[in-house]
């Protein structure tokens, strides 16, 4: 019941956020949870190497890797990501390490559909089963999504996305609805606060994150934050912490 209520609230939020406001939806600040499922398209090559630690009652996961994107043509961006993962199960044997599956995706941005102040994108992804089974990888997930960014004023931007993931369970694929909402709040010309809430229906997953994006130089940003799980699902972390450097190359 809680998930249904949240789903309905997010749907209302998404619908209500499509009203005309101000422009500047293509800012340099990238989302954290929604890095791949966003409405922006980069004009250059971006690389976001970093680390991510998460833990729950089933154990902990530590990822060290990189993700990025580049404009392939016009308003179309390609995305990629891969991690070196350490999986430490709780009370179920020794920790395992190995390479994760590779994320490959793309999205196309639509502008000026309703207002210059709102951008939309549509995209999809696939994971290549390059990782090891011992770390919960070697799986082919696929999915599609739509996303938006809607500028309010002074750089404050609302974000959101929704879509369907078909998750590989080892024998078949389970369909899962994905929904996220967030915002980008600039404190000053260098620092922005980025809260996000993302959820999936199968497996049960709901994660609230709060993060900071700090511009060190014109092409380097220091990013990091923490997350709190709001669901008791097997794959939902109780706590997560992440940090990265984003380079515009």
Nearest to 63, CA basis, from 51, 55, 54, 80: 51
- Residues with Cβ within 8 Å of 215's Cβ and at least 6 positions away in sequence, in order, are 28, 189, 190, 191, 221
Q: Cα separations (Å) of 82 from 14, 64, 133, 243?
A: 30, 9, 15, 15
d(CA 134, CA 131): 9
32: helix, strand or coil: coil
The residue behind tokens 């990013």 is: 223
> What pLDDT, on a 0 to 100 scale, did the predictor assign at position 170?
86
Tokens coding 58: 């089933």
Q: Are 198 and 166 a contacting pair, CB within 8 Å?
A: no
Q: Are 229 and 239 a contacting pair, CB within 8 Å?
A: yes
Question: Rounded to 5 degrees, what are φ and ψ at 106?
Answer: -160, 160
**Enclosing H/E stretch for 27:** none
Per-residue pLDDT 10s for the chain (249 aa) are 445 444 444 443 443 343 333 344 667 899 999 999 999 999 889 999 999 999 999 899 999 999 999 999 889 999 999 999 999 998 767 899 999 999 999 999 997 777 778 999 999 999 999 999 999 999 999 999 999 999 988 779 999 999 999 999 988 999 999 999 999 999 998 999 999 999 999 989 999 999 999 999 889 999 999 999 999 888 899 999 999 999 998
> What pLDDT, on a 0 to 100 scale, did the predictor assign at position 23?
41
Question: DSSP assignment of 104-139, as one string?
Answer: EEEEEEEESSS-TTEEEEEEEEEEE--S-GGGT---
């Amino acid at each position: 019941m809680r998930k249904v209520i949240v789903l309905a609230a997010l749907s209302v939020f998404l619908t209500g956020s499509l009203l005309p406001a101000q422009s500047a939806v293509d800012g340099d600040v990238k989302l954290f949870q929604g890095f791949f499922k966003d409405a922006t398209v980069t004009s250059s090559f971006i690389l976001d190497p970093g680390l991510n630690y998460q833990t729950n009652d089933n154990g902990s996961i530590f990822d060290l890797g990189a993700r990025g994107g580049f404009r392939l043509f016009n308003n179309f961006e390609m995305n990629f990501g891969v991690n070196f993962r350490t999986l430490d199960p709780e009370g179920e044997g020794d920790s395992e390490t190995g390479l994760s599956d590779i994320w490959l995706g793309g999205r196309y941005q639509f502008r000026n559909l309703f207002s210059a102040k709102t951008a939309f994108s549509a995209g999809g992804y696939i994971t290549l089963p390059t990782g090891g089974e011992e770390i919960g990888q070697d799986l082919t997930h696929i999915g599609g999504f739509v996303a938006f960014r809607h500028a309010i004023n002074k750089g404050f931007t609302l974000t959101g996305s929704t879509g369907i993931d078909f998750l590989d369970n080892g024998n078949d694929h389970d369909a899962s609805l994905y929904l996220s909402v967030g915002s980008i709040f600039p404190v000053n010309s260098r620092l922005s606060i980025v809260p996000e809430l993302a959820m999936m229906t199968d497996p049960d997953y709901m994660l609230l994150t709060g993060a900071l994006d700090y511009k060190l130089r014109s092409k380097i940003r220091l990013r990091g934050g923490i997350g709190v799980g709001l669901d008791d699902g097997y794959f939902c972390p109780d706590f997560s912490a992440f940090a990265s450097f984003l380079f515009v190359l």
